[in-house]
Amino acid sequence: LTGTLPASWSSFTNLVHLHLEYNQLSGTLPESWSSLTSLGRLILDNNDLSGPLPESWSTLSSLVFFYTRDNMLNGTLPSSYSNMTSLKYVFMDRNEITGQIPDSWGALVNMEWLYFPNNKLT
């Protein structure tokens, strides 16, 4: 697949799993996907995605697996992601994430894996 992530997919409100890894997707992560509140698994590894992590995605309270490995995502980790209380596995290695892991993420009591090598965290 090539192109950008369609904002119109925000209408897939019953979507539970979305795997788009190993494609040639580019552009930013759509703010409108914050409506995908049934989403439990989002795998976006190995694409050409860029830009910051959308603050609005903090509404994805069913998300368990969040993988964005090998992209060009940048900016800081949103502190509001502490609202994503189902998160267990976050793999964001090989991006350009900056700053620190927010203290608020300590509220993510279900977290089992945080994986951030090869970023620009301090």
Amino acid letter at 71? N
pLDDT at 69: 98
pLDDT at 17: 98
pLDDT at 21: 98
Q: How many CB atoms lie within 10 A of CB 119?
A: 17
Amino acid letter at 85? T
> pLDDT band for position 51 (50/70/90)?
very high
pLDDT at 62: 98
Residue 75 Ramachandran class (φ > 0 left, ψ -120 to 50 alpha, else beta): left
pLDDT (mean) for 33-57: 98
pLDDT digits (tens, 9 = 90+) for 59-117: 999 999 999 999 999 999 999 999 999 999 999 999 999 999 999 999 999 999 999 99
